């Protein structure tokens, strides 16, 4: 047997509650006593609370609280672990490699029937997320700093290549929301709690600084409070009624802004309460890919979509005209 098999066998025998000597374990497993010592050392290093007692009635035993705990996962728990590993990897979770190792251990000790079931479940689930861009190392640093209360120095890109000066950052937590990772914490540059897109971080360094996370602070609640409009605030809102095929509206409602602004929903009709400022900026451009699939009841939004469409038309007509002129000159 392999060392892993010997360790598992020793663990099973000690879980029976019976105290056994190294010689008894060696004879039972038909291995050398030195192999037993090495396996015991490895089990202790992995966190198994093995107690060694000397004397005539001595031997090895396991603390009762560990012996009474379940050693293996049931079928549903195994499936949940495998699916969680798939979600974690596709979402860019910083410890997805550790989850993959746990799944490998699960498969290593499964019999043929169990292994076949695990493989079928792992192949029956797929997740599609945007590429993470290779910033898992930053996610891991942020998570570890949040757990240890360690201040980081961060370089951040504010968008369009506009890099800001290095700042001290106390990460209170990381949040995965709508396909993106966010770090939430105290920004030394602004002197307040801010949230940052992790894919825009250009550098992270550990410092000697320490911090304490405010009691009861929720990174998730803070992030949503800053990203979503506040209906009780001073912003002006517009009611927008959109009619379309059910699957089109389903897709539209999955967008974070529309989903949280949904007021009324029927199979082929949805009513939203949206900030007027968003209707005059990016909402028209967001709806452009739906082409003529939407019937919109909002004078403000229709006017802004008409203006946006005219700008797009003028832009590409100018490009087409320029290319046609160059071909004529040739």
Q: Residue 189 and residue 212: Cα distance in Å, rounded?
A: 18
134-167 burial: b if 16+ Cβ within 10 Å, else e? ebbebbbbbbebbeeebbbebebbeeeeeeeeeb
Question: Pick from 75, 163, 82, 165: which is nearest to 124 by CA?
Answer: 82
Mean pLDDT along residues 102-116: 78
C-alpha to C-alpha distance for 88 and 158, rounded to whole angstroms: 27
Q: Is 34 helix (H, G, I), strand (E, B) or coil?
A: helix
pLDDT digits (tens, 9 = 90+) for 236-266: 889 999 999 999 999 888 887 788 788 999 9
Q: Would the pLDDT of 115 be above 60?
A: yes
> Which residue did the predictor score with more confidence, 63 or 302?
302
Check pLDDT > 90 for residue 310: yes
Domain 3-67 belongs in CATH node 3.40.50.300: no
pLDDT tens, residue by residue, 154-194: 999 876 666 678 999 999 999 988 778 899 999 999 899 99
Between CA 106 and CA 113, with CA 108 as vertex, the angle to 5 degrees is 85
DSSP summary character for residue 157: B
Q: Coil, strand or helix: which one is 119?
A: helix
Instruction: Flag the least confident range among 49-53, 107-111, 118-122.
Output: 107-111
How much is the pLDDT for 125?
80
Q: How far apart (Å, rounded) are the C-alpha atoms in residues 105 and 127?
A: 23
Which is more confident, 134 or 71?
134
What pLDDT, in 10s, does the model give residues 185-228? 999 998 999 999 898 899 999 999 999 999 999 999 888 777 66
167-177 and 180-187 as β-strands: parallel, antiparallel, unpaired? Answer: antiparallel
Question: Each residue of 17-69: pLDDT tens digit?
Answer: 778 999 999 998 889 999 999 999 988 887 788 888 888 878 998 877 665 55
- What's the confidence (pLDDT) of residue 119? 86
Q: Return d(Cα 137, Cα 122) in angstroms, integer.
A: 26
CATH number of 237-312: 3.30.70
pLDDT at 103: 86
Mean pLDDT of the chain: 85
pLDDT over 60 (residue 233): no
The domain segmentation of the chain, as residue ranges, is: 3-67, 75-123, 136-227, 237-312
Q: What class, spelled out in words, does domain 136-227 have in CATH? A: mainly beta
* Phi, psi (rounded to 5 degrees) for 132: -80, -15
Residue length of the chain:
330
- What average pLDDT score do residues 5-21 get? 83
The more confidently predicted of residues 181 and 71 is 181
Answer yes or no: same fold for 3-67 and 136-227.
no
The confidence score (pLDDT) of residue 230 equals 54
Q: Does pLDDT of 269 surpass 80?
A: yes
């Amino acid at each position: 047997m392999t060392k892993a098999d010997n360790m598992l066998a020793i663990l099973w025998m000690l879980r029976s509650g019976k105290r056994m000597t190294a010689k008894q374990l060696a004879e039972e497993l038909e291995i050398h006593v030195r192999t037993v010592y090495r396996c015991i050392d490895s089990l202790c290093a992995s966190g198994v609370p093995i107690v060694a007692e000397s004397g005539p009635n001595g031997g090895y035993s396991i603390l009762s609280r560990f012996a009474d705990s379940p050693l293996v996962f049931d079928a549903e728990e195994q499936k949940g672990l495998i699916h969680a590993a798939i979600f974690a990897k596709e979402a860019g979770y910083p410890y997805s490699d550790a989850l993959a190792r746990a799944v490998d251990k699960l498969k290593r000790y499964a019999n043929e029937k169990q292994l076949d079931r695990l493989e079928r479940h792992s192949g029956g689930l797929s997740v599609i997320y945007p590429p993470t861009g290779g910033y898992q190392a930053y996610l891991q640093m942020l998570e570890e700093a949040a757990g240890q209360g360690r201040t980081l120095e961060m370089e951040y890109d504010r968008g369009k290549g506009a890099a800001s000066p290095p700042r001290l950052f106390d990460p209170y937590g990381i949040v995965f929301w709508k396909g993106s990772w966010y770090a939430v914490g105290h920004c030394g540059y602004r002197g307040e709690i801010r949230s940052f897109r992790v894919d825009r971080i250009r550098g992270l360094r550990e410092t000697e600084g320490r911090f304490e996370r405010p009691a009861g602070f929720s990174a998730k609640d803070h992030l949503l409070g800053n990203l979503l409009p506040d209906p009780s605030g001073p912003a002006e809102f517009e009611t927008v009624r959109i009619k379309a095929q059910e699957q089109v509206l389903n897709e539209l409602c999955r967008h974070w802004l529309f989903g949280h602004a949904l007021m009324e929903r029927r199979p082929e009709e949805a009513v939203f309460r949206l900030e007027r400022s968003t209707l005059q900026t990016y909402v028209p451009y967001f709806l452009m890919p739906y082409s003529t699939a939407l019937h919109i009841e909002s004078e403000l939004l229709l006017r802004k979509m008409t203006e946006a469409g005219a700008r797009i038309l003028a832009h590409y007509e100018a490009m087409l005209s320029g290319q046609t002129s160059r071909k004529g000159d040739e």
